[in-house]
Structure 1
């Protein structure tokens, strides 16, 4: 076989099946993403706890009920925040 054809065939084989490499400093970026994920989850728990306490206070004092919207908003925000990775894997991963 011609050496030029063999080199071209090897090059084509590498181009058709590339192996992914992590970018430089990707471990630091992933660590930052993990920290942000924990912060988002913690803030969601705090928001639901605060809204639940406010709901109980509004119920006890007989005031207007605004906190059920806060609870619903915190829950919807939590669902969106925690499903972000799954959505990105479904869109980009395939």
Structure 2
């Protein structure tokens, strides 16, 4: 029984640990993904500033909740855009 456990532990230790490598010819695709990520972050920042301005203006009319929702959505978008690589790496 003990030998079976020891042999299964050796088998697990012998599994390969591959290192991800970018395929040749995909430099343009990586550049495109970087540009898209940059655009999403810029749009998120612009949305954040617009929502902050709306929040300041809406405080006079009593509709602050709409500005607050916009701020929260923009913060979530920026967090997801900057953490997308890490999130995908967890699942791949």
| TM value normalised by structure 1 | 0.69
Residue equivalent to 1:54? 54
The aligned residue for residue 28 of structure 1 is: 28
Structure 2, unpaired ranges of 5+: 1-15
Aligned-residue Cα RMSD (Å) equals 2.2
Larger Rg: 1
Q: Which runs of at least 4 in structure 1 moved beyond 2 Å after TM superposition?
A: 16-25
Which residue does the alignment assign to 2:91?
91
SS of 1:62's equivalent in the other structure is coil
1:63: Cα distance to partner? 3.4
Aligned partners of 1:89 and 1:57: how far apart in 2? Answer: 41
Other-structure match for 1:64: 63
Please give the residue correspondences for 1:3-42 in structure 2 after superposition, counting only pairs within 5 Å: 22-42=22-42
Structure 1 gap ranges (5+) = 1-15
Q: Which has the higher contact order (CA 8 A, sep 6+)?
A: 2
Count of aligned positions:
76
